Chain A
């Protein structure tokens, strides 16, 4: 069974940093693109970032470009999101999700994790 388990969320002050992790199991992690999607309290879904399988090509939403870094450790079957210079508007539940192929171009996510909550507040 494919499983994605996020961790690393918490309360952080504006300007601070946090690293989210997403532990994957039940599939050959290195072969699949992965992504982060967030949801602010009471709001809709917002795509954040994606990384391809294998060659590790990355892509970011303009709202996080230059502040967030997506990466993966295929030896640990784990996806990461390093978040720096955090702002109040980054407060959200962050979900990791898997793509059905190694590329994210012209594909959408098929399996989602349960999410981890990030709160940016002083």
Chain B
């Protein structure tokens, strides 16, 4: 199975800050990488697919990049409603696997 490693596991940032989360795959996955946002007690929400394509309705402050084994999710200007846990997921190989999550908090 492909292992997905996210860093950091948590971060605290101020409103308006630019936030970057990293995801590394244990082997190359081309651009078959997705990002999900999950708020406490809620279902995950799909943000990005194919490493950098935004799902319909997702604000442009979210962006993704990367290919191969190294990927990033960036929030350009952090807002209170962005407080959540973010997960990366690879879908290049079965079984689908998720990263351990990055909890983003507002200072």
Please report A residues at the B interface, Cβ cutoff 8 Å: 37, 44-47, 59, 61-62, 95, 106-115
Contact = CB atoms under 8 A, between A and B. Distances in A.
SS class of chain B's interface: helix, strand, loop or mixed? loop
A95 B49 contact: no
SS class of chain A's interface: helix, strand, loop or mixed? loop
Contacts of A61: 95
Q: Which 9 A-B pairs have the closest CB atoms?
A: A47-B96, A108-B34, A45-B98, A112-B43, A108-B91, A110-B46, A114-B43, A44-B101, A61-B95
Contact of A47 (B46, B55, B92, B95): B95
B3 interface: no
A63 B91 CA distance: 18
Contacts of A106: 32, 91-92
